[in-house]
Amino acid sequence: MGILVKAPAKINLSLDITGCRDDGYHLVRMVMQSVDLCDTVEVAPSSGGISLSCSRPDLPMDDTNLAYRAARLYLDQAGIKGEGVSIHLQKNIPMAAGLAGGSADAAAVLLALNHLYTRMSSESLLDLGAKLGADVPFCLQGGTSLAQGIGTSLSALLPLPDCFILLCKPDVGVSTQEAYRRFDGLKEVIHPDVDGMIGALKKSDLSSIAPLVGNVFEQVICLPELDHIRGVMKNCGAMASCMSGSGPTVFGLFAEEKQMKACRDRLMQTYREVFDTRPIGHGCKII
């Protein structure tokens, strides 16, 4: 038995794009929230090399997988030579969904290896995560955070009040690269009120938070499935519904469990990947 890590998904309560760097990376301001839909990642020492297995056979098991790359980067940066590691991913978070499932797995690998081999500081581990992807540092830290820059500069915020969060991923694909390309083509942009969201979180009042939920990508990702999901959520009493990340997953915030469950049952008649979750105050966690 190796180290077991719970790797939570995330949603974006607010997502804005504020500019673009000379190297092509977009600048963002996002309020990110961890939820209790988790992958389980097991990491154990092995006789040599990096081996990766997964409960989903359609996920690549080579160096294109972010969890594999996380192991390679950690071992190299820590100067660990001649040691191997085996990784198994038990996937529960939908893939290519805007929920940071791949980033969460990579963060879990970093955390487990840091427990097994060295003890880098939290700051060093966050810096290492940023080399892998913009969402990896948040997946390590978790909770409720403002993410700025390219998404790797994090500031902890007061937590989202406990509520019921429904996730629904339709069977359509959304390319993050294409989403950014479409955004760059917009002549006029309606920006979500990120500062307003931060202020609403300070009140710890869901009725103040809900109207400020927003995602700038919703102006360029126009799919009938997303409109249908948002409509069902609204009709079932969701206080807010919005796409997470560059999609295609839509989340709904509910004050009442009964309404959330009724919405879940309706959406499950049409969509395969529907999950009821709650907000949590942490990122990846050894169990």
As annotated, the active-site residues are 10, 135
* Beta bridge partner(s), residue 10: 34
SS3 286: strand
Q: d(Cα 11, Cα 132) in Å, to the nearest integer? A: 19
**DSSP classification of residue 177:** H
Structure tokens at 31: 């309020």
Name the nearest CA neighbour of 97 among 16, 17, 37: 37
Report the Cα 111 to chain-centroid distance in Å.
Answer: 17
Q: Which 8-state DSSP code applies to residue 161?
A: P
Task: Give the 3-state secondary structure of residue 148.
Answer: strand
Q: Which of 243, 160, 250 minimizes the C-alpha distance to 206? A: 160
Contacts of 178 (CB under 8 A, 6+ apart): none
CA dist., res. 208 & res. 80, Å (int):
49
Answer for the pair 249, 167: CB distance below 8 angstroms, yes or no.
yes
Q: How many residues does the chain have?
A: 287
Token couple for 231: 């409509």
